[in-house]
Amino acid sequence: MIEKQNFDKVAIIGGGLIGTSIAMSIRKNLLANHVFIYDSNQKVRDKLRVNSISDKVCENLEDTVHDVDLVFLCVPVGSMQEVAKGISSSLKDGCILTDTGSTKNSVINDVKPYINKNVWFIPSHPLAGTENSGPDAGFPELFNGKYWVLVPFYEIPESIINSLKRFLSGFGAIIEIMKPEYHDKILAITSHLPHLIAYTIVGTATDLEDQTKHDVVRFSATGFRDFTRIASSDPIMWRDVFLNNKDAVLEMLQRFSEDLTYLQRAIRWSEGDKLEELFIKTREIRRSIIKEGQDT
């Protein structure tokens, strides 16, 4: 059992699914004395006040991070640079700064130039989420039993990294350390490409004539429905992910397209053995996942 780490003051930038879940989880697990939250959208801030999940909803970035011990950036990865600029001069010495973006190389490139050497910047990514977004989507158990990847990329004292690890363990998260490039590659195949494909096939269906589209909706339970769930995720967040993990996504997409073309050809020429061979192989991966306890 890892001892819980209490920080006195924690700030959260971004009041969406991840930001609000962090706030709720801190409160539920008594992990900090004060939690401040901020969102650039006035309506979201109003909502955050009504939901009352933090000690204070701040009106600007500077006030949010002022005198704070730990800061979470929970904004779409395309907004990280702007936020980094905005908090740059207000972070206190010794503060730990992390983020929850789905791409790590881009966040490092965007944020690092604005962070002075007295602040510990440890990028991270909780592998948790739902297809819902916005200030009402959060819940305190979101990270329980889920991986949370830390991506330290320069010399940081072990004790500092450990204090962040212990804090996140307090959410029930399982902590992993990874290099940014490797993170971006693994996420490209496990998350980014599946989302891109789901968006595509749902898009293909929306272009069908009206009666067909209506029946696609009615008979969606036969496989399509799983894709629509994935393809209802936050549009801005995902736009930014694809633009900010371009190289890894395009590489995986290229491999995928080649493999799909191979199957397309096998179907056209009625090469059943090729199809069967692949379909048997893919069962093995499913068995590995069940064995790893990642699904039942």
* Of residues 115 and 266, the one with the C-beta less far from a second copy: 266
With left for phi above 0 and alpha for psi between -120 and 50, is residue 147 left, alpha or beta?
Answer: beta
Which are the contacts of 246, defined by CB distance < 8 A and separation ≥ 6? none
Shortest CB 30 distance to a second copy, Å: 27
- Restricted to residues 48-87, the positions that interact with a second copy (CB under 8 A) are 78
Shortest CB 82 distance to a second copy, Å: 15
Phi–psi pair at 123, nearest 5 degrees: -60, 150
- Restricted to residues 250-269, the positions that interact with a second copy (CB under 8 A) are 250, 252-253, 255-257, 259-260, 263-264, 267-268
Angle at 54 between CA 48 and CA 55, to 5 degrees: 120
Q: Is 246 in the site for a second copy (CB under 8 A)?
A: yes
Q: Residue 235: which H helix or E strand, with range?
A: helix 235-244
Q: Is 179 in the site for a second copy (CB under 8 A)?
A: no
- Restricted to residues 113-152, the positions that interact with a second copy (CB under 8 A) are 127-129, 131, 146-147
* Of residues 50 and 289, the one with the C-beta less far from a second copy: 289
Shortest CB 77 distance to a second copy, Å: 12
* Of residues 38 and 171, the one with the C-beta less far from a second copy: 171
Shortest CB 282 distance to a second copy, Å: 4
Dihedral angle sign, alpha carbons of residues 170, 75, 99, 62: negative
Query: What letter does residue 4 receive in the DSSP assignment?
Result: P
Q: Residues in contact with a second copy, total (CB under 8 A)? A: 92
| 157-161, long-range: CB < 8 A, 24+ apart | 160/96, 160/120, 160/122, 161/122
Which of 2, 30, 177, 236 forms a contact with a second copy (CB under 8 A)? 236
Q: Is 177 in the site for a second copy (CB under 8 A)?
A: no
Shortest CB 96 distance to a second copy, Å: 24
The DSSP line for 11-71 is: EEE--SHHHHHHHHHHHHTT-EEEEEEE-S-HHHHHHHHHHT-SSEE-SSHHHHHTT-SEE
Q: What is the CA radius of gyration of the chain?
A: 21
* Of residues 157 and 223, the one with the C-beta less far from a second copy: 223
Shortest CB 85 distance to a second copy, Å: 20
Alpha carbons 105 and 85: distance in angstroms, whole number: 18
Shortest CB 165 distance to a second copy, Å: 18
Candidates 12-20, 41-49, 66-74, 227-235: pick the segment binding a second copy (CB under 8 A): 227-235
Shortest CB 270 distance to a second copy, Å: 6
- Restricted to residues 182-201, the positions that interact with a second copy (CB under 8 A) are 182, 185-187, 189-201
Going residue by residue from 199 to 218, which x/- string records binding to a second copy, judged by CB under 8 A? xxxxxxxxxx---xx-xxxx
Express the helix, strand and coil content of the chain in percent, nearest 5 each: 55, 10, 35
